[in-house]
């Protein structure tokens, strides 16, 4: 018998697909217990039952950048973002990487 995914398990427990997807994604896909904790903390959110929409560039299953905050972006993420920005000339990229 195939093992159920966390999403399937939460839906089997009676949570709607929207709530389960949102809780899993916004708790960083750290398991059902963390997702349920997130749901308890956000049970009064007016948009709780709205479908989960990842921020542009985010992937379902990765930590939500808006919740982490730009200040906590890792050096590697920051470096990758700078390298991929076509608007920056090479000197600007080097300067930003030095920071």
The CATH number of 1-54, from 1.10.8.10, 1.10.10.10, 2.40.50.140, 3.30.420.40, is 1.10.8.10
Indicate the SS3 state at residue 56: coil
The pLDDT value recorded for residue 4 is 82
Tell me where in the chain the CATH 1.10.8.10 domain(s) lie: 1-54
Query: Please, what's the b/e burial string for 41-57 (b: 16 or more CB within 10 A of its CB; e: otherwise)?
Result: eeeeeeeeeeebeeeee
**More confident call, 93 vs 6:** 6
Record the pTM. 0.53
Q: Is the dihedral of CA 42, 67, 35, 48 positive or negative?
A: positive
Mean pLDDT to the nearest integer, 34-62: 82
Q: Which tens digit of pLDDT belongs to each residue from 50-95? A: 998 887 665 555 554 444 444 444 555 555 554 555 555 566 655 6
Residue 27 has pLDDT above 70, yes or no: yes
Share of the chain above pLDDT 90, in %: 44
- Tell me the sheet residues that pair with 62: 60
The overall average pLDDT reported for the chain is 74
Are the beta carbons of 77 and 67 closer than 8 angstroms?
A: no
Residue 44 has pLDDT above 50, yes or no: yes
Are the beta carbons of 30 and 68 closer than 8 angstroms?
A: no
Residue 41 has pLDDT above 90, yes or no: yes
């Amino acid at each position: 018998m195939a093992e159920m995914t966390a999403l399937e398990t939460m839906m089997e427990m009676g949570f709607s697909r929207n709530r389960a997807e949102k809780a899993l994604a916004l708790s960083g896909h750290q398991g059902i217990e963390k997702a349920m904790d997130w749901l308890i903390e956000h049970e009064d959110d007016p948009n709780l039952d709205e479908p989960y929409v990842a921020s542009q560039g985010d992937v379902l299953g990765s930590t939500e950048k808006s919740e982490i905050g730009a200040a906590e972006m890792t050096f590697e993420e920051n470096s990758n973002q700078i390298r991929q920005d076509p608007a920056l000339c090479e000197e600007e990229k080097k300067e930003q990487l030095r920071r």
